[in-house]
């Protein structure tokens, strides 16, 4: 089951089995990966790159050949805790069923089987990465979507050349809300509970502490070491998805860590070291008050639409 929705600050998307979170993503609604802006190079820093200021926030582009004071179409390609978000001057234009990026050729999501790829290739589209959504969309709709997006890009490019395009956001990824209202509220309540930094479940107590190095997790409990760590593993893996945790994670397991069967490097002392890809906002590093305000607004909004 897929549940996706917006709060005032975030766009969230969860893949669930029952009420268990298998995959979770949270992205800021402003200045997030995939957005395309028209922006100007404000500063150039030796051995670092070109700095852009977009609506009060500084971004970094490490590509060579950019000129100070020149305007470019840029895509936000990566956000990093404590670092400048990264830009590309060859933007990927994200649509419902594909991503168009000039000069990159045709590629496919790994979820699209080889047997179906020839059907998509028959559309004769150039420079697209077919997303998994294309598997369930009629071919004629994909073709219409492509034609509309190329028309939009051509119009933006023409306005730039004629100096008629205002700096700012020119394209943002599409977003579709899915799922039951009660589940959205339930997920927000779980996020708030976990953000407090302590989770208790059937004799296990797990503490979560965000640090400058990464997320530190401390597992405690009474019982057999192997059983405690096995149960803690299942709970921690779900929480890391719920909170969209990326970067370094240090987990102090019970005893020497016996019973843990997941990924990562386990030391003799029972400390597990995990490195997870960074995608969007790590909710352990978001101010708790902001999450509470988002929850209240979302809950009121959903109650009004009942």
Cβ count within 10 A of residue 35: 21
- Residue among 285, 279, 209, 286 nearest 251 (CA): 209
d(CA 258, CA 80) in angstroms, rounded, equals 33
CATH architecture of 36-88: Beta Barrel (2.40)
DSSP string computed for 74-138: EEEEE--TTSPPEEESS--EE-SSEEE-TT---EE-TTS-HHHHHHHHTT---SEEE-GGGGGS-
d(CA 301, CA 306) in angstroms, rounded, equals 9
d(CA 142, CA 250) in angstroms, rounded, equals 44
User: pLDDT tens, position by position, for the chain (306 residues)?
Assistant: 899 999 999 999 999 999 899 999 999 888 888 999 999 999 999 999 999 999 999 999 999 999 999 999 999 998 876 789 999 999 999 999 999 999 999 999 999 999 999 999 999 999 999 999 999 999 999 999 999 999 999 999 999 999 999 999 999 999 989 999 999 999 999 999 999 999 998 889 999 999 988 999 999 998 899 999 999 999 999 999 999 999 999 999 999 989 888 888 999 899 999 999 888 889 999 999 999 999 999 999 988 876
Domain locations in the chain?
36-88, 181-285
What are the residues facing 6 on neighbouring strands? Answer: 11
d(CA 214, CA 211) in angstroms, rounded, equals 5
The pTM of this model reads: 0.76
d(CA 173, CA 181) in angstroms, rounded, equals 23
């Amino acid at each position: 089951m897929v549940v996706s929705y917006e709060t005032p600050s975030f766009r969230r998307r969860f893949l669930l089995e029952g009420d268990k979170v298998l995959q979770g993503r949270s992205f800021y609604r402003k200045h997030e990966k995939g957005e395309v802006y028209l922006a100007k190079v404000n500063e150039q820093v030796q051995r670092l790159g070109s700095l852009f200021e977009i609506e009060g926030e500084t971004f970094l582009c490490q590509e060579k050949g950019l000129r100070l004071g020149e305007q470019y179409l840029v895509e936000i390609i990566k956000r990093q805790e404590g670092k400048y978000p990264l830009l590309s001057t060859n933007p990927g234009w994200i649509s419902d069923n594909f991503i168009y990026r000039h000069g990159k050729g045709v590629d496919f999501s790994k979820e699209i089987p080889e047997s179906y790829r020839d059907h998509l290739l028959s559309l004769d589209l150039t420079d697209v990465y077919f997303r998994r959504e294309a598997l369930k969309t009629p071919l004629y709709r994909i073709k219409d979507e492509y034609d509309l997006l190329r028309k939009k890009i051509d119009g933006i490019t023409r306005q730039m050349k004629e100096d008629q395009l205002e700096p700012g956001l020119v394209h943002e990824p599409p977003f579709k809300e899915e799922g039951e209202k009660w589940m959205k509220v339930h997920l927000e309540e779980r996020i708030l509970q976990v953000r407090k930094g302590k989770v208790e479940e059937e004799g296990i107590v797990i503490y979560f502490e965000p640090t400058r190095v990464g997320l530190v997790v401390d597992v405690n409990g009474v019982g057999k070491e192997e059983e405690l760590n096995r149960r803690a593993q299942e709970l921690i893996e779900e929480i890391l998805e719920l909170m969209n945790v990326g970067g370094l994670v240090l987990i102090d397991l019970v005893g020497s860590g016996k019973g843990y069967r997941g990924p990562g490097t386990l030391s003799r002392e029972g400390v597990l070291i995990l490195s997870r890809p960074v995608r969007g906002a790590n909710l352990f590093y978001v101010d708790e008050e902001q999450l509470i305000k988002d929850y209240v607004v979302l809950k009121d909004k959903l109650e009004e639409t009942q």
